[in-house]
Structure 1
Amino acid sequence: MDKILSKDSFKDYLFMLLGILCISFALKSLLIPNHFFDGGVTGIALLLYKKYHINIALIFVALNIPFLLLGGKLIGKSFAIKSIISVIVLGLCLLFIPFPEVSHDKLIVSVFGGFFIGLGVGFGMKSGIALDGIEVLAVYTGKKVGFSMSEIILGINILIFLIAGIFFGLEAAFYSMLTYFVASKTIDYVVEGFEEFTGVTIISSKSEEVKAFLVLQMSKGITVYKGERGFMKDSFEVSTETDIVYTVVTRLEVRKLKNAIHEIDEKAFIFSSSIKETAGGILKKKHAH
């Protein structure tokens, strides 16, 4: 245990605490008083609470712990210990912290309930823990049945919303879907950051000028692959060696980059793809400042 504590930074514990408080607030101030639901283990806990009136804190902890213990085998002992402690603390917050009811407006409850749930789960993920064990279940099930994690999570959530619709009406199910949608988008922003990155590959006969522009004018790091260009239908045998240039920019810089490259070489072939996360290199150093 001391080894685990010595490795964790203050930032990790701050994110854990913020995640716990955000989820506690969302549940007690918004979702529970208005009988709204969410996806994942949180959604299952809310369904059981609404149907059988069992204490929500006990349900939430009891449902999550088996999945988190499974996470200890799949991910690591440190992950499981920290996640279980965090889930227990979250349960204690639900039991003892008197969060006030904020609103009974259905749209406000649905949107901001989802926002704070997503914020909490996202903060937990950034600190290396899980405050909702559904993804651990999806990882384990995916290895057994061959479906992707996103497909399994989607299937479980569809089942949750179907049950909510059957027992509590379609309106509750629809608002719960909105809650889950907002939560999932918020998680994406918290984990991946608001400043999304794009990887850009450039194939041009003027690769030297392209490289000079990216490094000297845009201050970007580049990676150069050696390749061949040509192989056209009417001249398949004709090809020339070329440098294939790859760089990473923010999404706000993509248009500027493409316009500049086409000014250098209007026949340049450019394609891009979204990047979920970056670490290290020139880009990270600039971002840190």
Structure 2
Amino acid sequence: MNSLKVKNIGKTIVPIMLGTAVYAFGLLYFIVPNQLMEGGVTGITILLNYAFSIPIFLTTLLLNLPLFLLGWKVLGSNQIVYTGLGIGSLTFFLWVFEQAIDKGWLVPFTTEHDFILASLYAGVTLGLGLGIVFRYGGTTGGVDIVARILGRKFGWSMGQIILVVDVIIIGASLLYIPREKILYTLVAVFIASRVIDFIQEGAYAAKAFTIISDDAPQIADLITAEMERGVTLIPAIGAYSKQAKHMVYCVVSRQEIRRLSQLVKSVDPTAFVIISDVHDVMGEGFREG
């Protein structure tokens, strides 16, 4: 295995381990001490902890191991290898934080009244951890594996499967925790989903300009000269006029939106301009890949 391949694998393994560490911290520092819940297999492990005081790291391993082996057999090693890494590192960090809490090295955040604060911080940490894991191609196992298998066998949506399982597990938790804790859990789940999307889409956001004008070549030349941004001219045909023309496509940072708009108007005040959001831009002038 050459050094470049080892380096690329390392760039994946380290973030996945970091993400599972953050996720494990959020579970044991915010969720469990305040008797909140989670979905998926993690929710089952939390329920077992509430009901029988079984260590979460142990049930995480025992529940995920057969699912991992099943996924390996059905989905193949290429799709499941980073899931195995996620399961292993999550189990390890859950054990580490549980030991730290038991020995008094880490004091969890607990509250008797301000559960909204606990749910907000729980949502941020869980979402940050899972977002990092997902961004680098890993998962924490559990329902994700089941959803992939059922999706392949029956064509069911992964999102629908995960949602149904989460509803069943969170509903079952009503046997052990009050209803208001479930509502706080939903706040944490919502915040986590938003943070996951933010991490997945990328912290760096830009704007894409699609400009339709009879003066497209002049606009492209001006953008290149004045802003030093790459521009693409795309051949197009007007559906009504049937005339051939060009569209200008250009991506700029948010700070350059006004300047680019002014340049377009200076050449063609009647140009049709579409401005759309762009996430995680890589390449010259933006973030390096």
TM-score, normalised on structure 2?
0.80
Q: Which moved more, 1:25-34 or 1:133-142?
A: 133-142
- State whether residues 64 and 133 of structure 1, in contact with CA within 8 Å, keep that contact through their aligned partners in structure 2: yes
Q: 1:107 aligns with which of 98, 109, 116?
A: 116
Matched, 1:227 2:275: no
Q: How many residues align?
A: 280
Could you tell me which residue of structure 2 aligns to residue 235 of structure 1?
none
Post-superposition offset of 1:252: 5.0
Post-superposition offset of 1:171: 0.9
Q: How does 1:136-175 map to 2 (within 5 A)?
A: 136-165=145-174, 167-175=176-184
Q: Which amino acid aligns with 1:18?
A: L
The C-alpha deviation readout for 1:135-194, integer Å capped at 9, x for no partner, is 343333333343433333333333333333465332111111111111122222223322
Q: How does 1:253-264 map to 2 (within 5 A)?
A: 253-254=256-257, 256-264=259-267
Could you tell me which residue of structure 1 aligns to residue 250 of structure 2?
247
Post-superposition offset of 1:275: 3.8
CA–CA separation in structure 2 for the residues paired with 1:57 and 1:101: 17
Q: How does 1:32-181 map to 2 (within 5 A)?
A: 32-69=32-69, 70=71, 73=76, 75-76=78-79, 78-98=81-101, 99-104=106-111, 105-165=114-174, 167-181=176-190
Matched, 1:214 2:223: yes
CA 1:97–1:214 in 2, change beyond 3 Å: closer, same or farther?
farther
Could you tell me which residue of structure 1 aligns to residue 23 of structure 2?
23
CA–CA separation in structure 2 for the residues paired with 1:74 and 1:272: 42
The C-alpha deviation readout for 1:41-93, integer Å capped at 9, x for no partner, is 32332233223432211122223334444166274354244234323323432
Q: Which amino acid aligns with 2:124?
A: F
CA–CA separation in structure 1 for the residues paired with 2:5 and 2:284: 31
CA–CA separation in structure 1 for the residues paired with 2:77 and 2:211: 39
- State whether residues 197 and 276 of structure 1, in contact with CA within 8 Å, keep that contact through their aligned partners in structure 2: yes
CA–CA separation in structure 2 for the residues paired with 1:140 and 1:198: 37
Q: Which moved more, 1:6-15 or 1:138-147?
A: 6-15
CA–CA separation in structure 1 for the residues paired with 2:127 and 2:180: 22
The C-alpha deviation readout for 1:256-285, integer Å capped at 9, x for no partner, is 544543443233223344444444x324xx
CA–CA separation in structure 1 for the residues paired with 2:5 and 2:48: 35
CA 1:255–1:8 in 2, change beyond 3 Å: closer, same or farther?
same
Could you tell me which residue of structure 1 aligns to residue 284 of structure 2?
282
- State whether residues 22 and 126 of structure 2, in contact with CA within 8 Å, keep that contact through their aligned partners in structure 1: yes
Identity of aligned residues (%): 27
Q: Which amino acid aligns with 2:150?
A: T
TM-score, normalised on structure 1?
0.80
CA–CA separation in structure 2 for the residues paired with 1:266 and 1:95: 64
1:220 is paired with a residue whose SS is coil
CA–CA separation in structure 1 for the residues paired with 2:34 and 2:61: 21
Q: Which amino acid aligns with 2:203?
A: F
Could you tell me which residue of structure 2 aligns to residue 204 of structure 1?
213
Q: Which amino acid aligns with 2:149?
A: Y
Matched, 1:6 2:9: no
Gaps of 5+ in 1: 232-237
- State whether residues 197 and 248 of structure 1, in contact with CA within 8 Å, keep that contact through their aligned partners in structure 2: yes
